[in-house]
Structure 1
Amino acid sequence: MKLPTLNPADPDPLEFAPPLLRLQESMPNPLGRTVLKVLAALLGALVLWALIGRLDIVAVAEGKLVPHSYLKIVQPAESGIVKEILVREGAVVRSGQTLMRMDTLVADADAKSLEAEHRRKRLSLRRIDAELANKPFRVEAGDPAELAREVEAQYRANRAALEAALAEEKSRLVKARHDLSSAEQVRAKLLETLPHYREQDKAFERLAKEGFAGGIMASDKRRERVEKEQELKTQDFIIESARAGILQSEKKLAQIDSDYRRQLHAER
């Protein structure tokens, strides 16, 4: 019996089979097996590293190194750059022997900065002493020219600011004293003339009652007397206000000088 030959162009019968049968007859995907092998290899490597590996703990802390041998580890007090090492590890050294040479570039820069700051501070102290003593600031021989000009400019600026504040408050004090003097003069004049207005008021009031003067004239004299009495009270208030202004200006002048000196002491 001769079997029928299949034409390569004929469709695969599994394509028309049910999904379950098609899944059962198809070859499994090799990717899953590869992933499983890789995971198993990684797990084995992890177990092997856990059995034979060692974990080093790195900690950072500040302190002094204490060696367990006779070798002395030299630690500098300040960080720097080593220019030259004159000994080898394990060599025997003597007391006072030079072990290494440091690069002095940074140290020289720091020294110059400290020296400049020292000179600036010294000039500033002289400026403060001159301001506290109300004396001029004088440049001495040997003072750096640039620093001396800077400190002298600061001295002049501080004195100018102080004198401006004092001059402004002194002008208020002079005005308050002038107002007080004027008010006292007006008050003295009112005290001299007020009895005359009171006598006129009483006289015209008596004449009006006796019929020798009109009521309008008596009313005018009464009004003049009342106005002068009110002016006297007003001058009393002006005098009290001027005295309060004088007291306030004097306190303000003392406060300006006190604040100025307190700031100078704080700068020291």
Structure 2
Amino acid sequence: MKVRSIFKMKRDEYEFLPAIISIQESPPSPIGRLILWILMIFLSAIIIWSIFAEVDIITSSNGKILPNGKVRVVQSSVSGQVKEIYYREGQFVEKGAVLVSLDKTIIDAEIKKLKLQLSEKTALLNSLSAIIETLKNDLKIVSPKNQKWIPTRISKRNNELFESEIASFISSYNVQKNKLEVLVSNINESEVKISKINETLPIIKKRENSYKELYNKSMGSESEYLKHKQLRIEAEYELQSLNSSIKSMIVEMEGQLETLSEMKSRKRYETHNRISELLSEIEIYKEDLIQKEKNKMLHDIISPISGFVQDLAISSYGESVTVAEDILRVVPNKDELIVEALVPSKDIGFIEKSQDVIIKVDTYDFVKHGYLVGKTYDISNDSIEDEKLGVVFKVKIKIESNKINLSGMKATISSGMSVTVDIKTGKRKIIEFFLNPIKRTIKESVSER
């Protein structure tokens, strides 16, 4: 062995030997064969891995961080001057809190005037109602009711007017009533006289007949007979006159009763008309008062939602505010931020609710500071036209946490920041990345003319 190794030929000398002997004496290096096998095994492993391994399918798009709920623009419903500003830029405000108060001097004066007018009309209504009750109560005075909310001076003045008016009516009524009482008295007197005549007339007639018989027998004087005849005739005429007078007075009495009834009816009718007009006026005053009260409430500008004050357009007291003027904006609570992404039309078909999303905030380098995670929860049904992106659909993404790692500290993102979102729309086997282009090429080549 040693001898052979001593006399072993050099590698260059093998080249001058016959081919078969050269191959026998200098076989190929096993390293090349080993490398070949390693490459074959490696490629086979890659192919097998690509068949079974899967990667996420990502749809990337741009978006913006927004509050979960629209930013509410606060406007004034009335014109006026600023009296008080309760919240400043960046301060948190609860829903229903008063943001700004406008000066209420003018509206308060108008409300006070309306209340005074309403008090006067209501007090007058009470007086007229008391007149109606007095008429029903056979002119026995029923005093007007006094309501506590009506000022005392107004109630007192209307009570005096009531007393004056009802006294005037009762006086006129009593004049006519006295006439009726006189008629009744005269009728009673006439009836007494008639009763007396009816009792004495038979006696007078009897005396007349007695004197007539004596006169016919020439036992009495003619003058006595004629005297008693005259007494009978006078009594009969007086009886007739009294009966006629009673009939006339009864007719007059009925007319007087009708006059008294008509006076009450007319007074009742006139009072009811005045009450009806007053009720209409009171209703108008009440409606005006309600509107003024509502208008006064509008002088306090209320926050429609809980959130943070932004874009405050007023800064000092006394500034003028007009109707529909933007005063400020209320941004909803920062704990409820979402991402609104604009997904191209070609990718929207793969987007579904509850898909995982990686959110890269453009302000912070995601390689250094990381990224946020979230899930899709709302996909618009209609597209919009974007000047740069073309036809896009809005996709809303719920952020799991709005904190991001910034130099070892948790920084809070805020509304308005731009982001890039990677939506995981599914998984794909790695081999499909190589096979799909081949399939597409074959399909397109077969379909060509």
Residue in structure 1 matching 2:254, options 242, 247, 251: 247
- Paired with 1:150 and 1:234, the residues of 2 have a C-alpha distance of 55
Q: How far has the Cα of 1:96 moved from its partner?
A: 5.4
Higher gyration radius (CA) = 2
- Once residues 184 and 210 of structure 1 are traced to their aligned partners in structure 2, the CA distance between those partners, rounded to angstroms, is 39
RMSD: 2.3
Correspondence 1:225 to 2:203? no
CA distance in 1, matches of 2:235, 2:263: 42
Shift of 1:216: 1.7
Counterpart residue number, 1:208: 215
Counterpart for residue 269 of structure 2: 262
Matches of 1:224 and 1:164 in 2, distance apart? Answer: 46
Q: 2:122, 2:77 → 1: CA distance?
A: 38
Report the alpha carbon displacement of residue 108 of structure 1 after superposing the two structures with TM: 5.4
State the SS of the aligned residue for 1:142: coil
The answer to whether residue 242 in structure 2 is matched with residue 235 in structure 1 is: yes
Aligned residue identity for 1:198: K
Q: Alpha-carbon deviation of 1:146? A: 2.3
Percent identical residues: 18
Could you say what secondary structure the match of 2:79 adopts?
Answer: strand
1:108-147 matches, cutoff 5 A: 109-134=109-134, 135-147=142-154
The residue aligned with 1:98 is 76
Gaps of 5+ in 2: 1-71, 82-103, 135-141, 276-449
Task: After superposition, give the CA deviation of every residue in 1:20-60 in whole Å (9 maximum; x if it has no partner).
Answer: xxxxxxxxxxxxxxxxxxxxxxxxxxxxxxxxxxxxxxxxx
Aligned partners of 1:144 and 1:224: how far apart in 2?
76
How far apart, CA to CA, are the structure 1 residues paired with 2:143 and 2:77?
A: 53
Whole-angstrom distance in 2 between the partners of 1:236 and 1:191: 12
- The verdict on how the C-alpha distance between 1:184 and 1:170 changes in structure 2, with shifts beyond 3 A counting, is same
The alignment partner of 2:207 has SS state of helix
Q: How far has the Cα of 1:155 moved from its partner?
A: 0.9
Alignment of 1:149-168 (within 5 A): 149-168=156-175
C-alpha distance in 2 between matches for 1:130 and 1:98: 47
The equivalent of 2:315 in structure 1 is: none
Note closer, same or farther for the CA distance 1:197–1:100 as it changes in structure 2 (3 Å cut): closer
Residues 205 and 167 (structure 1 numbering): CA distance in 2 closer, same or farther, change over 3 Å? Answer: same
Q: For this pair of structures, how many residues does the alignment match?
A: 175
- Structure having the larger proportion of residues in helix: 1
Q: Distance in 2 between matches of 1:143 and 1:100?
A: 30
Q: 1:109 to 1:252 in 2, by over 3 A?
A: same
Deviation at 1:267, TM superposition (A): 0.7
CA distance in 2, matches of 1:100, 1:208: 116
Deviation of 1:162 after TM superposition, in Å, equals 2.0
Measure, in 2, the Cα distance between the counterparts of 1:255 and 1:130. 19
Deviation at 1:245, TM superposition (A): 3.0
How far is the alpha carbon of 1:186 from its aligned partner? 0.6
Give, in angstroms, the shift of residue 107 of structure 1.
5.6
Question: Deviation at 1:184?
Answer: 0.5
For 1:188, the equivalent position in structure 2 comes to 195
- Quick one: distance in 1 between partners of 2:154 and 2:228? 78
Runs of 4+, deviation exceeding 3 Å? 102-113
- Aligned residue identity for 2:121: K
Question: How far apart, CA to CA, are the structure 1 residues paired with 2:77 and 2:258?
Answer: 68
The alpha-carbon deviation at position 248 of structure 1 amounts to 2.1
Task: Map Cα deviations across residues 203-222 of structure 1 (whole Å, 9 max, x no partner).
Answer: 22222222111222211111
1:147/1:210 CA distance change after superposition, 3 Å: same
- C-alpha separation between the residues in 1 aligned to 2:74 and 2:227? 113
The alignment's TM-score, normalised by the length of structure 2, stands at 0.36
Structure 1: unaligned runs, 5 residues or longer: 1-93
Local SS of the residue matching 2:149: coil
CA distance in 2, matches of 1:100, 1:205: 112
CA distance change for structure 1 residues 120 and 99 in 2, over 3 Å: closer, same or farther? Answer: closer
Equivalence for 1:9: none
Q: Please say which of residues 137-146 and 258-267 is displaced more in the overlay.
A: 137-146
Aligned partners of 1:210 and 1:122: how far apart in 2? Answer: 92
TM normalised by structure 1 equals 0.59
CA distance in 2, matches of 1:117, 1:146: 13
Matches within 5 A, 1:66-81: none
In structure 2, give the amino acid aligned to 1:127. S
Alpha-carbon distance in 2 for matches of 1:165, 1:127: 19
